[in-house]
């Protein structure tokens, strides 16, 4: 008799939705499972900006630790939160079919502030990537820090005197919280692996891997691997404004990636279209090209700025 799989999840509504999706998909395969709730550092400290928290794995470390300590059998993560190098002893078990990849602008009253040059709009987000892209397009706007789970951030937007806040489209739509007063930011390139859900398990746990494999979506796995390879080659994390999106279309892979300075004033972009059979190494090749075209100077300046102890 197959053992009951213990699914580790954060306690936020979105995290529980993701874990429940995995539970239901496993049930369709005849595999029983239960949810185990684990607090993460990113959920406990809601005031410190993400780029000051060590960032890499801030939402995943607690679940990974529970996995290694055998308190759970699998961990379910938003893939964009997962460091490109998994902790020793863990492996990817499956990547679910991707949801919407875009970012979403939720505004208070209207979007006139996008065209009124005399108005210094106040836009809230905790993402360095979103801040940099927004400032590149709207350099006069003021960006403010916004932390917490989706519900907390929506409530904060209601109470503060801000014009708008930026969210992941998938996050709001998955738990049916997308407000009517929202706009898809189709010009904003997403974080690597945004919209994808990753299942992680212990190495050598072949029974769990076998149970999870039917849940794996090959196109999503390919695209997110390319995006994360791009990120890893640039040595980036949540404190670096790196964006990437790979898409499969008609037996071709279409890739876009970019790196911006923290203030959004400088941007380097790269685009590639290749046949699927030549997709191996695409993320690394694109990143190396971007570095040669000015990305290295931007990356070095970011590392220099963020390494100073007085930088906030």
Catalytic residues: 81
Residue spans of alpha helices (H) in the chain: 13-28, 41-44, 61-68, 128-137, 150-159, 169-174, 206-212, 218-233, 282-290, 296-306
Q: How far is CA 3 from the centre of its chain?
A: 31
Cα–Cα nearest to 155, from 128, 112, 124: 124
- What φ, ψ does residue 95 adopt, rounded to 5°? -125, 120
Are 200 and 64 in contact, with CB atoms under 8 Å apart? yes
The sign of the dihedral angle between the CA atoms of 15, 16, 22, 25 is negative
For the chain, how far is it from start to end, CA to CA, in angstroms? 54
Whole-angstrom Cα distance, residue 205 to residue 172?
33
Whole-angstrom Cα distance, residue 292 to residue 105?
33
Sequence length of the chain is 312
């Amino acid at each position: 008799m197959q053992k009951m799989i213990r699914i580790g999840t954060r306690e936020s509504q979105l995290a529980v939705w993701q874990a429940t999706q995995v539970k239901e998909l496993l049930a369709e395969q005849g595999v029983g499972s239960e949810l185990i709730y684990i607090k993460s550092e990113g959920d406990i400290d809601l005031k410190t900006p993400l780029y000051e928290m060590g960032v890499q794995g801030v939402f995943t470390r607690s679940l990974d630790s529970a996995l290694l300590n055998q308190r759970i059998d699998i961990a379910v993560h938003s893939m964009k939160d997962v460091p490109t190098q998994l902790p020793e002893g863990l492996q990817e078990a499956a990547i679910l079919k991707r949801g919407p990849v875009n970012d979403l602008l939720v505004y208070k009253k209207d979007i006139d502030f996008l065209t009124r040059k005399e108005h210094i709009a106040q836009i809230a987000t905790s993402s360095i990537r979103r801040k940099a892209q927004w400032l590149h397009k709207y350099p006069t706007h003021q960006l403010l820090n916004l932390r917490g789970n989706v519900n907390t951030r929506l409530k904060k937007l209601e109470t503060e005197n801000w014009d708008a806040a930026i969210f992941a489209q998938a996050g709001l739509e998955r738990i049916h919280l997308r407000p009517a007063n929202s706009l898809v930011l189709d010009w904003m390139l997403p974080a690597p692996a945004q919209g994808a859900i990753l299942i992680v398990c212990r190495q050598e746990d072949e029974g769990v891997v076998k149970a999870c494999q039917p849940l794996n979506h090959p196109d999503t796995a390919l695209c997110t691997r390319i995006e994360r390879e791009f990120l890893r080659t640039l040595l980036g994390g949540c404190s670096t404004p790196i964006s990437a999106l790979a898409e499969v279309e008609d037996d071709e892979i279409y890739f876009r990636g970019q790196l911006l300075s923290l203030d959004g004033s400088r941007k380097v972009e790269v685009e590639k279209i290749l046949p699927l059979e030549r997709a191996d190494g695409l993320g690394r090749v694109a990143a190396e090209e971007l570095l040669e075209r000015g990305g290295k100077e931007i990356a070095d300046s970011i590392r220099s700025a963020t390494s100073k102890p007085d930088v906030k």
